[in-house]
Amino acid sequence: MPLRPRVVLSRRWPGRAESLLAEDYEVISNAPDQPMSASDMREALRTADAFCPTVTDQVDAGVVGAPARRARILANFGAGFEHIDLDAARRLGIVVTNTPDVLTDCTADLTLALILATARGVVSGDRMLRAGDWAGWRPTHIPGVRVGGKTLGLVGFGRIGRAVARRARAGFGMRVRVFGPRPLADEEARELGVEVCADLDDLLETSDFVSLHCPVTPVTQRMIGEPQLKRMRRGSILINTARGALVDEQALAEALRSGRLAAAGLDVYAREPEVSAELKGIDRVVLLPHLGSATRETREAMGMRVKENLDYFFAGKEPPDRVA
């Protein structure tokens, strides 16, 4: 009986997804479920046929270029792949795949959840009640802002941005304005019911809510800094479910303290799992621990998408989600 390919997982997967993967592969799971060091990842590449990192693993050139490397594929558990040095992988002939599509809807759902939570003081109200500080209903208690009919600006308009736009328009009657690296044709914009902004400043100056939905690149890193925050409407709200490095967190904290921004809802951070102490000290910030894809159905589907890419690769076929 031929040996099954050995696959190393950098973190634990949902039980069902791990079990199904183990039916066809020799799976080396991360039992402690702690982040792997660069040395651990290099060892995985030396001892396995495939390595499955997640979006929080920094698979740089030093990791990819592990001496005596055995692995020929990096099957990423996640849609984003900025954490993998694709140029190094290409030079060494290593295939890289990701898991697009399957996390679109739940990330869009979480974006709307953060919009509602920040606009309506959901977290502040919960804290007050649990602390025993609620003295009963009164007309001036935690006044939020309406979401319906407001303007939502989407920075980046890929799969997730479009899913957010559909929810915002159909569910809350929001006016949706978009800006992204790929120009949107007028006809397509009309079909989607969105307005295309001339530039980022145009979007920031006209939106009540600004939500980020783009990858981190040399161009987009810290794209929301002090100048951009000053262009946002006074009392507006920033939402980030994309990547923490898109935002200058110190500048964001200052914009919140000064009152220019009413609130912020964040699911991602520049130095995860570290979260800025300044942001943690501001009550008007809703902080989540990177839950964008965290539904049982989605995390299982991500695992199955990884397995599908591995199945194609080890059958000598082109993986459907190859990015390098």
CA 68 – CA 234 distance, rounded (Å): 56
Residue 168 identity: A
Among the listed residues 266, 209, 275, the one whose alpha carbon sits nearest the alpha carbon of residue 242: 266
Known catalytic residue at 243:
yes
Quick one: which of 179, 184, 176, 174 has its CA closest to 156?
Answer: 179
Catalytic residue among 83, 166, 290, 322: 290
Q: What is residue 54's three-state secondary structure?
A: strand
Of 243, 249, 299, 305, which residue is the catalytic one?
A: 243
- The helix/strand count (H/E) of the chain reads as 13, 12
CA dist 8 and 43 (Å) reads 10
The single-letter code of the amino acid at 136 is G
Q: Please indicate whether residue 141 is annotated as part of the active site.
A: no
CA–CA distance, 95 with 322 (Å, rounded to integer):
7
Choosing from 272, 278, 284, 322, which is the catalytic residue?
Answer: 272
Q: Would you name the residues annotated as active-site residues?
A: 243, 272, 290
